[in-house]
Structure 1
């Protein structure tokens, strides 16, 4: 009985905090922050906050949102999470055009390059696809259920990314694997052709980003991990091109540390489409790290370390295709001190391309007053904050997320006796009895 209670406690710990997420429209027309079950949208073109609408009467998710993304054109936006729902929004009106019900909690979501399909993954390691256009018939569209297209076989999938040309979809998981799959013309029949496996990380893969330089149209794949590294891949062959020890470079991981629990996780990576600017957020690091990718030499190096005030550790970051700003957010859902109001902190870095440096760009942290539509935007995306609440929120976020991510993505090891006990007490077997 004690062991059953322990298992339930582990599940609660794994889901007690979800990181705040941020996503920017490809042409920087709008910005979205997801915190807990709430989507906060600000229209940068119209200089106003946005209210979401849904035919069901409730536009919010009912549990923590774990994944958000725009499509390549910015016409569509998807959100998904622990309530087992995937919501697809039309960004011209921010109306929910479709809500898809999943069998399990959703861990990642992506929209195909042509905007015709949404793919999402669940906690059992299955990737599903739903069409967004069935001969223009909305009733036929709603009748088409999600179809499984590929799987990682009982390993939590942490992220899904389409290549810029739409030919490939990359999926990464808790068990250190990156799979690159050819995305078929009719994915409802399955995606059976694997292009490559990118193997080399020694802990869970947390994030992926494709880059496509003009002089190397085939492109490259970037990955971040719980092993505190960012790696560069030739995703066509699966070959590892270079590894950047970002935890060590940031000074938060000693080179002789071998305890995986002390490794600062790479929270997120974002890149300009041509790979000229790569920004990285790292657990426990107060700021953003700028990487340089030498495409000809196929190598990664640290270009600059951008420190931020207020013990600010971004939980998510993003950049539009215009590559003018790097948008970052820090926050976590279910903070004990925040009561019913979920609090976040948004910081923005301006990208300068006119600096005499080898990498040809620089990042400058903007003061709140210098952010576009600063007062209204920050009020919408952050929530109502005073100085005391900011400090309390930031102090709790890092430790809460570190515990939650470790419990969720670090694979647990059990003795043979405990493993047999857990098998005998699986929920599906209890139902059969």
Structure 2
């Protein structure tokens, strides 16, 4: 392949914006938003903001948080990011019970379905595991260290997911690969059995999720990518079942004005108790809903839900058993702005109806006063600042550039490769 010139991101290496992230408790007991190094949590049951307490004797987050996740049972919450810290929180007390230091910046996290293991991936392609044996919900965990579990060979891992039955851990990377690995009984000893590879994307894989029902408890994997597709997979064999090209369906082809690049899928999540998949696409002010026919193994467009009246391009999606879809748009470290870190939260309801396509059963974007938690929640998760529409448009553009710089692989001349090697400074943190 012919070498190309240095990418834009290299000339602005010190500018690293991070998208706002959102996670919702499985039973919707609380909602969390991460913006930069700040973690904001709101208790929906108590109707009040949460004050986080750190009992782990470790440092607080000092750099952008890149991954947040609730455990399947909702008892644990994990945050991790560019400061190479993985912090494990008890959601009963919102105390940090353990801080684990990573050797590299963390890009993705996942918790095993039984709540016994926390897995996290770094930007060098290694997946690590932390054993939570001894956690009783209250006491802090002492001297927990991570053990290497598997590797993608120097490729940034973008997403980690456990299968619904807990048998497999699925990892995706920027080199277009999805790896399905058998999760062993003793993961601290490493994993040694690869079930399959799901190959077919032509750009980085950005996000993963599972869609499953009582009739199909093992579920099927869905993946979003920089190639503007959402794909459906059978993970047991790695077979590609269906591909949905979402860019044209979302009406983004005309808006790109002849640009050669795709509109990447930035995030997706499955609506519980059904076969609907909410998809966030770069530049789309709203979400795209896909319907998955599990018996036919197909994906189809259900509806585009637009956010009207404001520039809202989601950077993260999350849902819970309540059936509400929570979304956040925002960014940290936005240069040239009075408010370098900002977030906007919106919620969509109406996914439990028999048909989301009929006019009387359309999903509804809730107004701020209809959002669970109301003004108190929005003030905690967003802050009390009123931000102009053009600032959110600038934030969306900054996220777009940052995502491209991080995940689109660059080509260098031999001279530039030698220079980069000489200037590398990969110091490991002693644990």
Counterparts of 2:238 and 2:79, CA distance in 1:
30
2:27 alignment partner in structure 1: 27
Matches within 5 A, 1:1-12: 10=10, 12=12
Match of 1:379 in 2: 379
The residue that corresponds to 2:3 in the other structure is none
Instruction: List gaps (5 residues or longer) in structure 2.
Output: 1-5
Q: Give the TM-score, by structure 1 length.
A: 0.90
- SS of residue in 2 equivalent to 1:427: coil
- 8 Å Cα contact 1:335-1:393 kept in structure 2: no
TM-superposed CA distance for 1:144, in Å, is 4.0
Give yes or no for contact 1:38–1:60 (8 Å, CA) kept in 2: no
Q: Give the structure 2 partner of residue 114 of structure 1.
A: 114
- How far residue 60 of structure 1 moved from its aligned partner, in angstroms, is 4.2
Using a 3 Å threshold, how does the CA distance of structure 1 residues 319 and 356 change in structure 2: closer, same or farther? closer
Matching residue of 2:409 = 411
1:402 to 390, 400, 403: 400
Q: Return the alpha-carbon distance in structure 2 between the equivalents of residues 83 and 290 of structure 1.
A: 35
Whole-angstrom CA distance in 2 between matches of 1:394 and 1:255? 18
How far apart are 1:351 and its partner, in Å? Answer: 2.3
Partner of 1:105 in structure 2? Answer: 105
Task: Tell me by how many angstroms 1:217 deviates.
Answer: 2.3
Matched residue SS, 2:40: strand
**Partner-residue secondary structure (3-state), 1:418:** helix
| Aligned-residue offset at 1:296 | 1.2
Q: Work out whether residues 327 and 349 of structure 1, in 8 Å CA contact, stay in contact via their aligned partners in 2.
A: yes
Are 2:282 and 1:286 aligned?
no
| Contact 2:272–2:319 (CA under 8 A) maintained in structure 1 | no
Instruction: Give the conservation status (yes or no) of the 8 Å contact 1:15–1:408.
Output: no
Query: 1:342 Cα shift?
Result: 2.4
- Structure 1 residue 255, shift from structure 2 partner: 12
After TM superposition, the structure 1 stretch with the greater mean CA deviation from structure 2, 210-219 or 185-194, is 210-219
1:157 paired with 2:175, answer no
Q: Which segment is superposed worse, 12-21 or 364-373?
A: 12-21
Matched, 1:421 2:419: yes
8 Å Cα contact 2:267/2:315 also seen in 1: yes
- Per mean C-alpha deviation after superposition, the further-off stretch among 229-238 and 338-347 is 338-347
Q: Give yes or no for the alignment of 1:178 onto 2:178.
A: yes
Task: Please tell me whether the aligned partners of residues 54 and 95 of structure 1 are also in contact (alpha carbons under 8 angstroms).
Answer: yes
Which has a greater percent of helix?
1
1:339 CA drift (Å): 4.2
Deviations 1:272-324 (A, max 9, x none): 3444221011110010111100111111111000010212100001110332x
Q: Is the 8 A contact 1:162 1:170 kept in 2?
A: yes
Query: Contact 2:222 / 2:230 at 8 angstroms: preserved in 1?
Result: yes
Cα distance change on mapping 1:184 and 1:140 into 2, 3 Å = farther
Aligned equivalents of 1:281 and 1:41: distance in 2?
A: 23
Deviations 1:315-369 (A, max 9, x none): 001110332x100000000112554662211010012433556799642111111
Indicate the SS of the match to 1:312. coil
* Rounded Cα–Cα distance in structure 2 between residues aligned with 1:258 and 1:160: 34
- Cα distance change of structure 1 residues 246 and 396 upon mapping to structure 2, 3 Å threshold: same
Shift of 1:372: 1.4
TM-score (norm 2): 0.91
Q: CA deviation at 1:390?
A: 3.5
Name the CA shift for 1:357/1:308 in 2 (closer, same or farther; >3 Å): closer
Name 2:335's counterpart in structure 1. Answer: 336
Determine the C-alpha separation between the residues in 1 that align with 2:140 and 2:287: 46
State the distance in 1 between where 2:165 and 2:11 align: 38
Secondary structure of the 1:45 match is coil
Q: Residue in 2 aligned with 1:305? A: 304
| Distance change in 2, residues 1:172/1:184 (3 Å) | same
**Cα distance between partner residues in 2 of 1:11 and 1:186:** 44
1:276 corresponds in structure 2 to 275
Q: In the TM superposition, what is the alpha-carbon distance from 1:143 to its structure 2 partner?
A: 3.1
Q: 1:390 to 1:91 in 2, by over 3 A?
A: farther
Structure 1 residue runs of 5 or longer lacking an equivalent are 1-5
Q: Are positions 1:78 and 2:73 aligned together?
A: no
Deviation at 1:395, TM superposition (A): 2.0
Distance (whole Å) between structure 1 residues aligned to residue 255 and residue 53 of structure 2? 50
CA separation of 1:180 and 1:362: change in aligned 2, threshold 3 A: farther
SS in 1 for 2:304: strand
2:350 is matched with 351
| In structure 2, distance between residues paired with 1:259 and 1:302 | 24
After TM superposition, give the deviation of residue 158 of structure 1 in Å.
Answer: 0.5
- Kept in 1: contact 2:98–2:140 (CA 8 A): no
Could you tell me whether the CA contact under 8 Å between 2:303 and 2:356 is conserved in 1?
A: no
Contact 1:134-1:140 at 8 Å conserved across structures: no
Counterparts in 2 of 1:32 and 1:139: CA distance versus 1, 3 Å: closer
Provide the aligned length of Structure 1 versus Structure 2. 420
Determine if the alignment matches structure 1 residue 202 to structure 2 residue 212.
Answer: no
| CA RMSD of superposed structures (Å) | 2.7
CA spacing shift, 1:322–1:122, aligned 2, 3 Å: same
Q: Quick one: structure 1 residues 357 and 116, their matched pair in 2 at CA, closer, same or farther if it must change by over 3 Å?
A: closer
* Equivalent residue, structure 2, for 1:212: 212
